[in-house]
Structure 1
């Protein structure tokens, strides 16, 4: 009896990696055809790299059985990336997307994915984050930036924006401490946090327990209700 039990354990140890490999699928890279993309809407988990270049392209790397369930459609200039809700698990989080666009005016992320944008130059940019995801732009150059953060996610942006308009609800965090701007408006409800860098004028509305910190010496108009706070951190 003990011998049979030992054989079963050894068999399970050998078989388990094979079963796991079959369930995850064979890793491969796939290229999807896209054209005329100026916005991206992501409704799935994964690692997303968005870069600006002369030729549009989209590559997806991950398990084969996951890739065949990922849909990518361009409608009215917006690239929609989605995957059925029943396709979950750790393997989905390891799918990597590399998107190259000529122009980008809008980024929308719903879920727990992560988006990284090394450099981006555009006249105006809108960012919407819903869920526990993260968005990071290392070098943004834009005239007008609008951010809607409705979640527990985080957004981190560096670069230059003449004007920025930030709306936060929930417990999300916005770090624009390295995003130099002339004017900024921050509207916050909940227990979120925001850091901005402003030279000319800052308008802040805080309700709940949210906190807003700012660098620079702008003229400040603030309305606070609840336990919220607005704090100046001096010049950079």
Structure 2
């Protein structure tokens, strides 16, 4: 008799040795969107250095031996300095701790993960990367917005909505809008009116479809369908705050077509 293949066998996970730092993405919030490798790291780590966007439900999955260390950075609020975070990771690794640096979304998409692994490299500390589902793409998908559609776009722009220190952000936003592709804006809320005006100057019409999504995959999630010209006012009217993303472009209009038969998350 033919034996059925096993469907319950998990993959072999790498050993998490003392003195290493693992940099992992926690995804957009819901624990079900963690990768298996991230879950393995959570259960194995001695120290979990996490940012402000890691959902508390994910931290509850940590092993009993783990020490949780908050190192969050939030725009407009008191935050840990990046240099201090780098030093902390190096210090804990040199203490022969298993250090997990846990970030919301994906650590290499607007997460400063590149800066941290560069500091680890210069310090001679071994590290491993565990990608996560980046929040902008996940929030869009779960709201019924495909990042790309053959009939509308063959590219999508991921953009940070924070201002640069030298004031060049607005000019860059205008250039991105002139490309003519949908834009997913991370961290937009502090500068949303300026961003939308820059997109308009870059060539986007005021009636371009837009969607504002806050606190995706959590009980506080809100999705607001709007337009480029109304996005800032609608977000303010509904009291939207960070964490949030804004999607501007033809793909935003897909939500209306898909919602009728789309099952919500989770």
Tell me the TM-score normalized by structure 1.
0.28
Question: When you count helix as a share of all residues, which structure comes out higher?
Answer: 2
Which structure is larger by alpha-carbon Rg, 1 or 2?
1
Question: Quick check: which one's strand share is greater?
Answer: 1
Q: Select the structure with the greater relative contact order (CA < 8 A; seq sep ≥ 6).
A: 2
